[in-house]
Each structure stands twice: as C-alpha cells, then as structure tokens.
C-alpha cells in the first residue's frame, strides 16, 4: 500500500492548546471530560475549564480506564480511581510497593499488579491475587467477561480470577510488556522488550511473529472492528491485518503517514477506520486507512507525543506530550 506523501490538509486552527506543566504519561476521556495524567502524580481534568487533583504523592507508573473512571497506579503503592468531577477513591494502598500495571474491565472490575503478583478487584466481593513466573509487564481484560491476559517473561498467562483452574500459558521466549486482546477475542498480542510484537491465535495456539521495527513498539491499538492493529515503533504507522482467521501471518502490513521522524503514539478512532498518529517531534496526523489521506492536527514543537485518546463518540481527540504542552481538538 502506498501512503500519501503530499502536504496534508490542516485542522491546527481548531486545536485548543493546553500548558499542563508536566509530562503527560496517560490520557483518557471520561464522557466529555479529558483526563490528562501527569508523571508526578497530578491529574488535569479538562472540559470547559481545568481542574487539578493530586492522585499520587510520587510518580505515576500505570494508567488505564473506561468512560467513567480513570485508573492510575503509582510508586506510592496506591491504585486510585478518579471520576470526571474530580472525586478520587483509593482502591488499594500498600506502602513500599510499586503499582506497575492497572487495567479496567468492561463491567467495572479492576486489575493491577505489583512485582510478579496480579490482583483482581470485583465490583462486589474480595480481592483475588495470583503470582506469575516473573514481574508482570502488561495487563488487559478480555473485551467480554473477566478473563485477564497477563504478560511476563516467557509469554502470556490467561487468568480467570473467578475459576480455580490454573491460568492457561501461552509461551514465547523473551520479555513481554504491553498486551492487548483483539475486539473479537480471537487473538492476543504483546509488545516485547526487543523491537517486535508477538501474537497468538487462541483457537489453535498458533504463533504470530511481527518484526522488522527499527525501535521498540510502545503504543498499539486495534482499529474499529479489529480489522487492523496500528502500532508505533517506526517512521510510519505500521498496520497489521487481522481480518482473516489466520491473522497477519503471510501478509504484509500497511504503512501510513511516513516521515523522517518516528511514530511515538497511535490511537484508533472508535467508529471509523481512522488512526491518529503522534510523532517524536510533537506532530500529530489523522490518517484515513482506506487511502492514506492525512490531516494535520498539531504542528511539531520538538516534544514527543506521549499520549493520544479519542472521545468515546469519536468527536474529539486529546493530545499529550513529554513537555506538558497538550491539546484538545473537536471535529
């Protein structure tokens, strides 16, 4: 697939610029409110006005959430849920522990990890815990149900916290970090410490090796309907095809929005086959997958884009950077 290389159209005049005063490490929309998570513990909630709350006394290590709650884990040993009105609830606290990962379930459940122990918090009932072979590198709930994918050294474990059975182990040598389910729950994919992705077809345990990146992949997202997996890690957005039952094996990825600067963050539109791409120099493009058409949303300023998130209806995009220069753009 040949990507467009002509000068893109621009919507930069619609960008609402924000100076948040600290590096953005995560971003989620809570309804119409954008929640920007800063690395030193603050959350900035932005709608018509800005509201700042201190969720952690220390560094934020992990961010997740749904359209109701923003979940954060910190080096203060706390898991905190923050809502759009600025209300905060500590879901867990243990001094001396680092909360490396957090995840939000579709039914209001929560998972988090400290070291090699993963914890599951049901909406009602007692917390459940399980020790894995090594430090948990990533956590993700299946789109339906309470099954958790837990990435660690040597592969991924699929854990049913409500079952007595041992987790199912998907093996592949190496250090696995971020983990993601496909929307149809047929595939699980991890980012690795090396410059590659690895995936499994759950129907038969088949392996899917996705390599060739010049740098480690730190951001990935399935497009609406799960047809493509968009990733960072190169000087263009790499989209692996997942529409067929075999996944991407034997197929070439699409490459969109090529530049001489690497993509640092991607976010897939929740309804349309459109991807937002943020780059290490601060530029942000919106790209249509079908023909590679590009629209410039933010001009480069030298600060890497560290977070992108679409509003639930796809009508707005939030942008966060390493310098704290952020923005919101409505369509």
Q: Tens digits of per-residue pLDDT, 224-241? A: 999 999 999 999 999 999
- Residue 44: pLDDT above 90? yes
Average pLDDT over residues 59-87: 97
Q: What is the distance between the alpha carbons of residues 321 and 291, in angstroms, rounded to a whole number?
A: 28
Q: Read off the pLDDT of each residue in 131-143 and give the average, rounded to a whole number.
A: 97
In this prediction, residue 167 carries a pLDDT of 97
Residue 1 in this model has a pLDDT that exceeds 80: no
| 113: confidence class by pLDDT, cuts 50, 70, 90 | very high
- For the ranges 35-44, 84-93, 243-252, which has the lowest average pLDDT? 243-252
Q: Kindly state the average pLDDT of the residues 23-45.
A: 98
Q: What is the pLDDT of residue 2?
A: 37
Each residue of 189-209: pLDDT tens digit? 999 999 999 999 999 999 999
- The confidence band for 315, taking pLDDT boundaries of 50, 70 and 90, is very high
Per-residue model confidence (pLDDT) at position 106: 87
- Look at strands 33-38 and 24-30 and give their pairing: antiparallel
Query: What share of the chain in percent tops pLDDT 70?
Result: 98
Alpha carbons 291 and 329: distance in angstroms, whole number: 23
Whole-number Cα distances in Å, 146 to 90, 111, 162 = 22, 10, 8
pLDDT at 3 (0 to 100) = 40
**Is 318 within 8 Å of 27 (Cβ atoms)?**
yes
Q: What average pLDDT does the segment 134-155 reach?
A: 96
What pLDDT sits at residue 6?
A: 57
Q: For the residues 307-313, what does the mean pLDDT come to?
A: 98
CB 219 within 8 A of CB 259: no
Residues 6+ apart with CB under 8 A from 132: 116, 117, 118, 150, 152, 157, 167
pLDDT of residue 121: 97
Q: Is the pLDDT of residue 48 over 60?
A: yes
The average pLDDT across 162-189 equals 96
Q: How far apart are CA 188 and CA 142, in angstroms?
A: 9
Q: Do residues 256 and 274 make contact, with C-beta atoms less than 8 angstroms apart?
A: no
CA-nearest of 310, 316, 150 to 224 is 310
Give the pLDDT score at 7. Answer: 72
DSSP-derived letter for residue 129 is E
Mean model confidence pLDDT for the chain: 96
Q: Which residues contact 145 (CB under 8 A, 6 or more apart)?
A: none
Q: What is the pLDDT of residues 208-224, one digit of tens each?
A: 999 999 999 999 999 99
- Among all chains, which residue has been given the structure tokens 């090594």? 134
Q: How confident is the model at residue 5 (pLDDT cuts 50, 70, 90)?
A: very low
Compute the distance between CA of residue 161 and CA of residue 310 in angstroms, rounded to an integer.
Answer: 30
Average pLDDT, integer, range 130-153: 96
């Amino acid at each position: 697939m040949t990507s467009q290389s002509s000068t893109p159209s621009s919507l930069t005049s619609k960008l609402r610029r924000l100076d948040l005063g600290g590096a953005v490490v995560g971003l989620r929309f809570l309804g119409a409110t954008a929640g920007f998570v800063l690395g030193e513990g603050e959350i900035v909630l932005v709608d018509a006005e800005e509201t700042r709350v201190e969720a952690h006394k220390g560094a934020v290590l992990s961010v997740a959430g749904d359209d109701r709650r923003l979940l954060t884990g910190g080096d203060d040993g706390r898991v905190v849920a923050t809502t759009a009105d600025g209300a905060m609830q500590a879901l867990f606290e243990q001094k001396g522990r680092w909360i490396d990962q957090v995840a939000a379930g579709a039914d209001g459940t929560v998972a988090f990890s400290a070291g090699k122990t993963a914890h599951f918090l049901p909406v009602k009932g007692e917390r459940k815990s399980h020790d894995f072979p090594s430090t948990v590198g990533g956590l993700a709930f299946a789109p339906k149900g309470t099954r958790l994918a837990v990435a660690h050294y040597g592969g991924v474990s699929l854990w049913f916290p409500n079952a007595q059975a041992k987790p199912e182990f998907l093996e592949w040598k190496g250090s696995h970090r971020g983990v993601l389910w496909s929307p149809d729950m047929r595939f699980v994919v991890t980012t690795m410490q090396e410059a590659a992705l690895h995936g499994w077809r759950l129907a038969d345990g088949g392996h899917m090796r996705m390599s060739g990146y010049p740098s480690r992949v730190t951001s990935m997202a399935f497009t609406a309907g799960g047809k493509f997996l968009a990733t960072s890690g190169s000087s263009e957005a790499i989209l692996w095809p997942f529409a067929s039952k075999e996944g991407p094996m034997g197929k070439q990825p699409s490459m969109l929005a090529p530049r001489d600067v690497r993509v640092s963050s991607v976010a897939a539109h929740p309804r349309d086959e459109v991807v937002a791409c943020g780059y290490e120099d601060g530029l942000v493009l919106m790209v249509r997958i079908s023909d590679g058409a590009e629209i410039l949303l933010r001009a480069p300023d030298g600060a890497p884009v560290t977070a992108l998130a679409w509003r639930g209806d796809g009508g707005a995009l939030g942008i966060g950077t390493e310098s704290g220069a952020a923005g919101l753009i409505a369509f």
